[in-house]
A and B are shown apart, each in its own frame.
Chain A
Amino acid sequence: MKPFRYERASSLASACASAAEPDAKFIAGGTNLLDLMKLQIETPIRLVDIGPLPLAEIDERSDGGLRIGARVTNSALAADMRVRRRYPVLSQAILAGASAQLRNKATTGGNLLQRTRCPYFYDTTKPCNKRAPGSGCAALGGLNRMNAVLGVSDNCIAAHPSDMAVAMTALDARVETVAPGGATRTIPIDALYRPPGDTPNIETVLAPGELIRSVVLPPPPAGRQIYRKVRDRASYAFALVSVAAIVAHDNNRVKAARVAFGGLSYKPWRSADAEGSLSGATLARASYDAAGAAALKDAHGYGHNDFKIPLARRTLRAVMTEATGTS
């Protein structure tokens, strides 16, 4: 680990000002950042610990939604009875990720901003445009089984690893930030992440020193909420494919559906194509397969990860079947 200066935040304003300095980073739970610092993939010279800031509350909103402080741990969020009753897809997604020990440290803001687990991002002996801009992408012709198939570029095919963010994307969550000058803004979660294009090292729209202070969940939409994760072992593994879905239906038809995929792209992949295909569709396997085909129509495999495309279609079918009680 490279040397750094450690600072405890005393206020939002001072924390943002400190973190806006070159090579400075916020630290909250630290479960991803410290791992990357040990490997010298991240080499901040200043760490601003936001542990002292009062951002660990989950508050009711007057509209029936919730505001989740950035420092709320993954465990606390998944165990909150309001989340379990009103947003079960979020509890399920969080509980599908990492281990109990990690969820006790990992925070809401940190989970959103965690880095990819692409093996070449972690291997400092290999090219990686995300880690070393301009060096190339070893994953394109390499072991890319875990990599993305949608929305990425020939400069980077890294997938976003979060489960929590997939559920939040299906829930239309909004990310509230504060910038070094004190300015606040609200970013729809789907607009938080930047496509890799030719600058995969720039992953979000956040400015230097801009801090995620909270995540707002709108009131829960009607319908059955389901998170389904497909992975290489039964627990404690990243998703090959996951689906967060919220499905309202009557006896014959899907009234409304929200669908977000994990493991397929640089961000949780909300599929307007699948949702459009499902809206008003009959409760039948053919409808779910058509939605899957629509969702994956622009997908591109890179060899080892070709399987993700049919797997994503089938996972959506399974989720829709469960959500609607059809076969």
Chain B
Amino acid sequence: MLPFLSRLSRRRFLGTAGAVTLAAASQPAAAEAGGEPGSIHSENVALIVNGRRHNLELDPRVTLLDALREHLGLTGTKKGCDQGQCGACTVIVNGQRINSCLTLAVMHAGDEITTVEGLEGNKDLHPMQAAFVRHDGLQCGYCTPGQICSAVALLAEHKAGWPSYATADVATAPALTDAEIAERMSGNICRCSAYANIVSAIREVAEGGRT
């Protein structure tokens, strides 16, 4: 089963342009996602991604991350560690951020999934994306889609009054200090170490926009 690609993705472009190493490196994931011989059965699953409903036939082993990338062509969501440690695969499911690498696509029938591609509206950057650009909250950019999805959900969690480990009294709704932002973003690793600028970008959006 060939992955359905809704548009020319960067991966496909690089692959056809002769990036043999990259194309080869992508094969194991594609084979796993495509339902290799030996699968017991495949499952129909309807995913609602960025407001669009997609009916997919998937090997139950396919993670939500691989479904997004390999079956729907939404390569904005990145595969870093594939074991829940780096946060590059962070997406928002029913309003909550999760690691898409550590969940099966078949477990998300009917769920509302938002990826970085779904944050833009009318070709305008989401305020969080714009703030990351203004604050230089990235270097290589690989972790950035996960950072941004995570940051958008962080603000919703904070608005709902959720405490964090940095909250002195968990019975109170804390102010979003830099220490609170850093703690709440600890599931997103940035090996370029753009952390200081990521925190300032998030703080700007939390405080209501450009400062």
Contacts and interface: CB of A to CB of B under 8 A. Distances in A.
A91 B87 CA distance: 23
Q: Which of B106, B169, B186 has the most CB of A within 10 A?
A: B186
Given A38-B83, A85-B171, A95-B170, A79 B161 contact: yes
A92 B170 contact: yes
B61 interface: yes
A84 B97 contact: no
Contacts of A34: 63, 102-104
Interface string B32-51: 10000011110100000000
Contacts of B162: 75, 78-79
Interface residues of B, number: 45
Contacts of B167: 95
A100 B184 contact: yes
A47 interface: yes
Interface stretch (A3-11, A63-71, A258-266, A311-319): A3-11
A91 B154 CA distance: 18
A6 B162 CA distance: 34
B200 interface: no
A35 interface: yes
Contact of B61 (A4, A234, A236): A4
Interface string A92-135: 10011011111011000000000000000000000000000000
A3 B40 contact: yes
Nearest to B179: A234
A91 B163 contact: yes
Interface in A1-56: 1, 3-6, 27, 29-31, 34-35, 38, 45, 47, 49, 51
Nearest to A98: B187
A45 B102 CA distance: 18
Given A35-B84, A96-B165, A101 B170 contact: no
B184 A35 contact: no
A4 B183 CA distance: 37
B107 A100 contact: no
B149 to A, nearest CB: 9
A239 B98 CA distance: 22
B40 A4 contact: yes
Contacts of B102: 30-31, 34-35, 102, 105
A186 interface: no
B82 interface: yes
B99 A102 contact: yes
Nearest to A47: B60
Contacts of B104: 6, 27, 30, 34
B41 A79 contact: no
Contact of B170 (A3, A88, A99, A100): A88
Interface string B165-191: 101011100000000001111111000
B96 A104 contact: yes
A105 B186 contact: no
Given A92-B165, A99-B87, A104-B97, A236 B187 contact: yes
A84 B150 CA distance: 24
A235 B97 CA distance: 18
B186 A99 contact: yes
B90 interface: yes
Given A31-B99, A88-B171, A235-B186, A49 B82 contact: no
Contacts of B83: 35, 38
B71 to A, nearest CB: 16
Contacts of A98: 187
A81 interface: yes
A84 B173 CA distance: 11
B79 to A, nearest CB: 12
Nearest to B60: A6
B197 interface: no
Contacts of A30: 102-104, 107
Contacts of A100: 97, 150, 153-154, 157, 164, 184-187
Interface in B45-104: 59-61, 63, 82-84, 87, 90, 96-99, 102-104
Nearest to A104: B96
Contacts of A1: 32, 61
A81 B188 CA distance: 27
Interface of A: 1, 3-6, 27, 29-31, 34-35, 38, 45, 47, 49, 51, 75, 78-79, 81, 84-85, 88, 91-92, 95-96, 98-102, 104-105, 234-236
Interface of B: 32, 38-41, 43, 59-61, 63, 82-84, 87, 90, 96-99, 102-104, 106-107, 150, 153-154, 157, 160-165, 167, 169-171, 182-188
6 contacts: A1-B61, A30-B104, A78-B170, A100-B150, A105-B102, A234-B183
